[in-house]
Amino acid sequence: MAKTKAPRRPRAETPKGFRDYFGAEVTQRKAMLDRIAEVYHRYGFDPLETSAVETVEALGKFLPDVDRPNEGVFAWEEEGDWLALRYDLTAPLARVAAQYRNDLPSPYRRYAMGPVWRNEKPGPGRFRQFYQCDADTVGAASVVADAEICAMLADCLEAVGIARGDYVVRVNNRKVLNGVMEAAGVLDPADPERFAAERGIVLRAIDKLDRLGEGGVRALLGAGRKDESGDFTKGAGLGDAQADIVLAFTDARCETGTETAQVLRGLVGDSKIGLEGVDELEEIAALLDAQGYGPDRIIIDPSVVRGLGYYTGPVYEAELTFEILDEKGRKRQFGSVAGGGRYDDLVKRFTGQAVPATGVSIGVDRLLAALVAKGHAQQAAQGPVVVTVMDRERMADYQAMVADLRRAGIRAEVYLGNPKNFGNQLKYADKRGAPVAIIQGGDEAARDVVQVKDLVLGAKIAEDATLEEWKARPAQQEVARADLVATVRKILDADT
Structure confidence at residue 68 as a pLDDT band (50, 70, 90):
very low
At position 76, the amino acid (one-letter code) is: W
Residues 299, 414 within the same domain? no
Q: Which of 16-20, 313-317, 330-334 has the lowest mean pLDDT?
A: 330-334
pLDDT of 65: 44
pLDDT of 465: 53
CATH number for position 215 = 3.30.930.10
Residues 359, 410 within the same domain? no
Residues 89, 206 within the same domain? yes
Higher pLDDT, 90 or 377: 90
Does pLDDT of 62 surpass 50? no
Q: Domain boundary residue among 374, 394, 415?
A: 374
Of 341, 287, 336, nearest to 316 (Cα)?
341
Task: Give 393's DSSP letter.
Answer: G
Percentage of the chain lying above the pLDDT 70 cut: 92
CATH number for position 397 = 3.40.50.800
Higher pLDDT, 223 or 37: 37
User: How far is CA 441 from each of CA 350, 396, 406, 446, 448, rounded to the nearest angstrom?
Assistant: 69, 13, 21, 9, 10
DSSP string, 126-139: B-SEEEEEEEEEES
Structure confidence at residue 112 as a pLDDT band (50, 70, 90):
very high
Residues 370, 389 within the same domain? no
User: How far is CA 149 from each of CA 334, 342, 426, rounded to the nearest angstrom?
Assistant: 22, 10, 51
Task: Give 71's DSSP letter.
Answer: S
Tens-place pLDDT, residues 213-243: 888 888 888 888 888 777 888 888 888 888 8
pLDDT of 249: 80
pLDDT of 172: 93
User: How far is CA 161 from each of CA 65, 79, 123, 269, 406, rounded to the nearest angstrom?
Assistant: 38, 48, 28, 43, 32
Range of the domain at 399: 385-495
Residues 126, 266 within the same domain? yes
Does pLDDT of 385 surpass 70? yes
Whether residue 394 is contained in a domain is answered as: yes
Q: Domain boundary residue among 374, 399, 416?
A: 374
User: How far is CA 304 from each of CA 249, 275, 315, rounded to the nearest angstrom?
Assistant: 10, 17, 7
The dihedral sign for the CA sequence 286, 291, 292, 298? negative
Residues 310, 399 within the same domain? no
Whether residue 107 is contained in a domain is answered as: yes
Domain count within the chain: 2
Structure confidence at residue 67 as a pLDDT band (50, 70, 90):
very low
pLDDT of 181: 81
Residues 362, 400 within the same domain? no
Average pLDDT, integer, range 317-325: 84
Does pLDDT of 278 surpass 80? yes
